[in-house]
Amino acid sequence: MNLRYCEKNRVRGTTESKMTSLPISDVQAALAGLIGQANVYADPADKARYETGARYGDGKAALVVRPGSAAEVAAVVRYCVDTGTPLIAQGANTGLVAASTPDASGTQVVLSLERLRGEIAIDRANRTATVGAGVTLQELNDKLAEHGLCFPIDLGANPSLGGMIATNTGGSRLIRYGDVRHNLLGIEVVLADPPGQVLDLMSGLRKNNTGYDLKQFFVGVSGAGGIITRAVVQVHPLPRQTATALIVPTSQEAVLELLIALESEFGDFLTAYEGMSSSTVQSVIDHVPGVANPFAPEPIPDYCLLVELAATSSREVLGVDLQSALNDFLERQFDVLVANAVLDGGPDLWKIRHSISESIRHQGKLIAFDIAVPRSSMVDFQTTARRMLEADFPWLRLFDFGHWADGGTHFNIVWPHDATPAYDTDTVEKLRLAIYDLVVRQFGGSFSAEHGVGPYNERFYHRYASPEAQVLSGKIQQAIDPRHALGQVHFGPSPKP
Amino acid sequence: MNLRYCEKNRVRGTTESKMTSLPISDVQAALAGLIGQANVYADPADKARYETGARYGDGKAALVVRPGSAAEVAAVVRYCVDTGTPLIAQGANTGLVAASTPDASGTQVVLSLERLRGEIAIDRANRTATVGAGVTLQELNDKLAEHGLCFPIDLGANPSLGGMIATNTGGSRLIRYGDVRHNLLGIEVVLADPPGQVLDLMSGLRKNNTGYDLKQFFVGVSGAGGIITRAVVQVHPLPRQTATALIVPTSQEAVLELLIALESEFGDFLTAYEGMSSSTVQSVIDHVPGVANPFAPEPIPDYCLLVELAATSSREVLGVDLQSALNDFLERQFDVLVANAVLDGGPDLWKIRHSISESIRHQGKLIAFDIAVPRSSMVDFQTTARRMLEADFPWLRLFDFGHWADGGTHFNIVWPHDATPAYDTDTVEKLRLAIYDLVVRQFGGSFSAEHGVGPYNERFYHRYASPEAQVLSGKIQQAIDPRHALGQVHFGPSPKP
C-alpha cells in the first residue's frame, strides 16, 4: 500500500501542495526510528480500537503511532508534514463527530495521545493542575480528590484532557463552572507550521493580557493546526454539600421562571438544571435495571427537572443544610412554579439522568442532536420542534433532555425498529436539516453545542456558519496551518468543488 | 495638512501597500458625507479630550469622528482603509497603555465609540444583556440593577463595553466572576478586511462549538483587526449579602494559606482577596480625607488583606448571616493564620482600597506596574522584588497592592519629588526591565496582567513574548488585517528595522 494525500486532506489555498507517495513500510520504519518500534502499530488487531469512533467514524488507519513526549509528537508531525503523510490526533476517542478517527482510505496515520501522561502536578496554592494530554478526566479527578479539589466538567464519557480541549467540552455543570475554555490557563501545542514547532503557552496565570491569547485558537477546533500535548487547568474545591430534587413544573413557562428564581436565590450553588420529558424518563425505567418511577404512586409527569445545588462550605461552616434550604424554597414555590417534587434523591436521581443514553439504544436507531438555543428560546424551540416532528415525521419518537441553564439540549430522536416507513438515510438527512434549520435560522442557536465539528458534521458548518465567518475562519486556519496538515475539518468557505 | 500613513502604520508583510496623500479637508468632507458634519470634529477644542490618554498617550488627532451605528463605523473604516487614512478606535478612553489615543503626528483619525449606544436590551431568562460598544460599565450596571442583575467586572475606571472587550479587563472580583472574556457571549465587529465588513457574532449562546470562536480574536488585542460595535454579555444576579474583613495575617506564608482555607470553606462566596502593604495603607490615611487607621489604637500592620464574600442568597433564604459565618471562621483562625482583623467594615474598607491610586499621586512620580505571577509565586516574587528595589533603587518607594486570588499585583513604585537622584527616564527604563525581567523570566508571570498592550508597552511585548508566539501572532494578525489598518500594536516579531 502506498500513502498519499487523499482528496480530503489536499492542500487548499495558496500554498503549494507537496504530494508524496512513500511505501507504507518506509513510513513505518521512519516513525519507528523516531519513537520506537513498540509504539508504531501496523497490525490490524493492534490498530482496531483506534479506528472506530464512539458514535460516528469507522475507517482504517495506515498506522497508529503512540509518541510518549512533546518532542516525539514534534518528530512525528515534522516527518508527516514533510512527507505529506496525513495525520490524525486522537485522545481517548470518545468524541461524537468522527474527528479523531481515520477515514476509509487506509492512508491516514493515527497519532494517539494516550502515552502523553507524565505526572499530574497539582499546585495547591495556585489551584491549578498541570496535565499531560493523554490523562483522562477520571484520572485527573481521582488525583485531585486527594487534595479536596476537582475539575468539574461533568460528562457521560471519560475523555482525555487533550481531547477535551480540542472539543471544548461543556457538560451538565457548565452553568456553575464554565466549559473547558473557561478553565484553561495554558497549553503546550505542537504546531503544523513550522512543522513540529513546540509552542509553549504553559502559563498558570489567571490574568495575562499580552496580545493574542494563542491557546484560544486550539480550543474547540478538533485538532486543527496543532496537537495539544500538555495543559494547565484551573481546578476547584470539591463541594462539601449537595442538594438535589426532581421537580415537576406547574407549566411549560414555569421551567424558565423556576430557573430564574433558583439563580436569583441560590445563584452561588446551582450546578445543574436538567429537564427530561416523560418519554425519556419512561425509557430509563423500562430499560435500566434498578430504576423505578421516582414519583410512584403518581404517574411519570410530562416533564421534570433535576436540580442540583452544591456548596463548598460544609453545614458546620455555613450553619445551614443545603438540602433543607432547597426544600424550603420548593415548599414556598408549591402550586406557584412547582407542582410536585422528589426531594433529596441524590445519586438515584442522577442515575435516571445518566442512564438516558443507554436506555435509548433499546428504542430503535438513534438520531442524535446536540443543539443549543438562547435559554429564553428553549420553550418556543421545543414546542415548534415537537409540532414539526408530529406533523412531518409522526413515526419518530423523541427522548430529549436539556441542560436548561446553559441552553443546551440533547434532542434525541429515535426511529423505532418496527416503524413504518423503515429507516432510510435520505429521510434522516431531511430530518437533520429540518431540526438544524429551526435551531440555527429560526432560534439563533447552534447545531453543535458541545460535541464540536468533525468530518461527520462538517457539512452543517458550511451550511450554517455565515459566509463572512467562514471567510475569516479560513484565513485564520490558512495562517496557522497553510498545508492543512492537522485537523480534518476545513473551516474556510465550503470546500466542495 | 496632508494625511498619509505614518511609518508606524505602514503595511507590513506581503500585501501591497496603498499610500495616499489626501488634503485633510477632503477627508473631513468625505467623512462628513458618511456620518454627518456634526459628528466630524476638526476644531482643536472639540478634539482635545480624545487626544490624551488616562495615563499614557498625548498626541494630536487629524480628526475625531463619532459614528452612530455599525453601518456608519463600516463606512468610515471602508473609506479610511481605501484611502490609507490611519484610524484609531477609542471607547471611554480610560485605558492605561495608550492604545486609544493618537500619536504626535497629527495624521490619525480617532473613531470614538461613544455614540454606539442604542437600547441596553436585557434578556432576563437568558441572563444576558445586549449592549452598544459605547455604553459605559456604570450605565450598564445601573440598568441591570433594576432587574436584580449586575455585570460584575469591578474596576477603578468607568470604561465603555467596547473598550473593556478590547482590553479584556479583569479587576478585583475576577476570582469569582472571571474577566470580560469569560462573560462575553457575542460581538458585532467591523473588520479591517474586507474593509468595513460587518461580522455578526451576536450569539447569546453559552454552548456553541462550531469551529473557531471568532470573537476570541478581537478580545484583549487593543482594537487589532476590527472595531467592536455591539456585544452580548452574560450578567449575574446581584448579591443580596456581602461580608468584609480587613485581616492581618500571622506571617507572609499565612497569606496564601488563608486564601486556600477561604476558598476551601467559602469558595462559593469569595469575591475579593486584596493585599495591601503598610506604606500603601498609610498613604491613603495621610492623603485621603475621611480615612483613618482602621486598626487604631494598634498601628498599621506590615501587611493586611481585604476579604470580601458575597452571596446571591439572602439571610432569609440561606438561614445564615454571611458576615457572622466569616467572623466565626476568622475567630477559629485566630493566632493560626489571623493575627488581627477588622470585621464588617464594608464600604469603609473598600474606600481604603479604592483610594490607593489617588493617594499615591501625592507621593511623587508614579511608575506603575500591572503584573501577574502564579499565586504560588506571589510571596517569592514580592520578597525578591523588594530586595532588588532596596539594593538597586533605594530612593524609590513602593505602594503595592495585590489581587492575591488571581495573582495580579499593582506593583506601584513612586519616585519621590524630593529624592536624590532626581527623576530620569533612563533609570525608569532600567527599573522597568529589572521588574519585568523578574516577573516574566524568573517567575513565569505577565508584564501586563489586565491593562493590555498598546503603543506605550509594545516594546515589552516584543521583549517577553516567545519568538514562536510572536511568529504565530503575526501570522494571525496578518491574516485578519493584511494592511495592518486597525490597531496600533504589531504582534508579529519585532517591527524594529
* pLDDT score at A70: 98
CA-based nearest distance A417→chain B, Å: 32
Q: What is the mean pLDDT of chain B?
A: 93
Characterize the bridge pairing of strands A121-123 and A108-112. Answer: unpaired
Assign A313 a pLDDT band (cuts: 50, 70, 90). very high
Task: Kindly tell me if the per-residue pLDDT of B17 is higher than 80.
Answer: no
List, in order, residues 6 or more apart from B242 with CB less than 8 Å away.
Answer: B271, B308, B309, B310, B311, B322, B346
* pLDDT score at B14: 32
ipTM of model over 0.90: yes
DSSP designation for A437? I
Task: Kindly tell me if the per-residue pLDDT of B13 is higher than 70.
Answer: no
* pLDDT score at B285: 94
Listed range (A8-17, A69-78, B175-184, B317-326) with the worst mean pLDDT = A8-17
Query: Looking at beta carbons, which residues of chain A come within 8 Å of B201?
Result: 469
Assign B442 a pLDDT band (cuts: 50, 70, 90). very high
Which of A182, A203, A209 lies at the smallest CB-CB distance from B450? A209
Task: Kindly tell me if the per-residue pLDDT of A5 is higher than 70.
Answer: no
Assign B53 a pLDDT band (cuts: 50, 70, 90). confident
Which of B168, B208, B475 lies at the smallest CB-CB distance from A449? B208
Assign A148 a pLDDT band (cuts: 50, 70, 90). very high
- The C-alpha atoms of residue A430 and residue A24 are separated, in whole angstroms, by 40
Cβ of B313 within 8 Å of Cβ of A267? The answer is: yes
- Over residues B214-222, the mean pLDDT reads 98
Cβ of A375 within 8 Å of Cβ of B127? The answer is: yes
Query: Looking at beta carbons, which residues of chain B come within 8 Å of A448?
Result: 208-210
Assign A118 a pLDDT band (cuts: 50, 70, 90). confident
pLDDT digits (tens, 9 = 90+) for A11-70: 333 333 344 578 999 999 999 999 999 999 999 999 999 999 888 888 999 999 999 999
Angle at A413 between CA A411 and CA A417, to 5 degrees: 165
- The C-alpha atoms of residue B450 and residue B178 are separated, in whole angstroms, by 12
Query: In sequence order, what E strands does A170-225 have?
Result: 184-191, 198-201
* pLDDT score at B20: 52
Query: Looking at beta carbons, which residues of chain A come within 8 Å of B476?
Result: 212, 217, 476, 479-480
CA-based nearest distance A493→chain B, Å: 12
Which of B125, B325, B472 lies at the smallest CB-CB distance from A214? B472
At A218, the amino acid letter reads F
Query: Looking at beta carbons, which residues of chain B come within 8 Å of A198?
Result: 468
Which of A198, A207, A475 lies at the smallest CB-CB distance from B406? A207
Cβ of A475 within 8 Å of Cβ of B479? The answer is: yes
Q: From B459, which residue of chain A is nearest by alpha-carbon distance?
A: A210
pLDDT digits (tens, 9 = 90+) for A420-478: 999 999 999 999 999 999 999 999 999 999 999 999 999 999 999 999 999 999 999 99
Which of A178, A318, A407 lies at the smallest CB-CB distance from B320? A318
Q: What is the mean pLDDT of chain A?
A: 93
Q: From A267, which residue of chain B is nearest by alpha-carbon distance?
A: B312
- The C-alpha atoms of residue A371 and residue B282 are separated, in whole angstroms, by 56
Name the 3-class secondary structure at B329. Answer: helix
- Over residues B135-146, the mean pLDDT reads 98
- Over residues B313-332, the mean pLDDT reads 93
Cβ of A209 within 8 Å of Cβ of B449? The answer is: yes
pLDDT digits (tens, 9 = 90+) for B405-417: 999 999 999 999 9
CA-based nearest distance B327→chain A, Å: 11
Q: Which of A179, A210, A480, A491 to mutate to test the interface with B (most CBs of B within 10 A)?
A: A210
Domains annotated on chain B, with CATH: 2-112 (3.30.43.10), 121-237 (3.30.465.10), 241-356 (3.30.70.2190), 363-442 (3.30.70.2740)
Go through A196-226 and write b for each residue having 16 or more CB atoms within 10 A of its CB, e for each that does not.
bbbbebbbbbbbbbbbbbbbbbbbbbbbbbb
Cβ of B175 within 8 Å of Cβ of A206? The answer is: yes
* pLDDT score at B40: 98
